[in-house]
């Protein structure tokens, strides 16, 4: 399995552990090019998962007016009912 495939298959908690391992290692010595590349892949995957989570949370927010009517807008600009 290639590095990219391994990173793509990782869950958020696994990514955090590996990113933190690289952070600790970088404090003791300079990372080599392969380690830097892997760290960048891990960071990018983490950011992608994080953004997906935030986007999903925002999409699930419903806004209501003072009378309790939903005024949330769909992506097409129409009010949801």
Q: Please give the Cα distance from 67 to 73 (Å, whole number).
A: 17
- φ, ψ of residue 77 in degrees (nearest 5): 90, -5
* Residue 15 pLDDT grade (very low, low, confident, very high; cuts 50, 70, 90): very high
Kindly state whether residue 31 falls inside one of the protein's structural domains.
yes
Query: Model confidence over 56-72: pLDDT tens digits?
Result: 999 999 999 999 888 88
65 in Cβ contact with 71 (< 8 Å): yes
7 within 8 A of 41, measured Cβ to Cβ: yes
**What domain count does the chain have?**
1
DSSP 8-class letter at 29: S
- Please indicate, yes or no, if residue 65 is contained in any of the structural domains: no
- Asked if residue 33 belongs to a domain, the reply is yes
What's the domain range around 15? 3-59
Per-residue pLDDT at 29 exceeds 80 = yes
Which pTM was predicted? Answer: 0.74
Q: Is residue 55 a part of any domain in this protein?
A: yes
Task: Please check whether residue 29 lies inside any domain of the structure.
Answer: yes
């Amino acid at each position: 399995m290639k590095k990219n495939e391994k990173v793509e298959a990782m869950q958020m908690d696994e990514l955090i552990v590996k990113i933190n391992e690289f952070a600790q290692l970088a404090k003791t010595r300079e990372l080599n090019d392969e380690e830097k590349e892997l760290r960048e892949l891990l960071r990018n995957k983490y950011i992608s998962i994080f953004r997906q989570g935030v986007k999903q949370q925002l999409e699930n927010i419903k806004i209501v007016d003072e009378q309790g009517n939903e005024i949330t807008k769909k992506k097409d600009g129409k009010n949801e009912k």
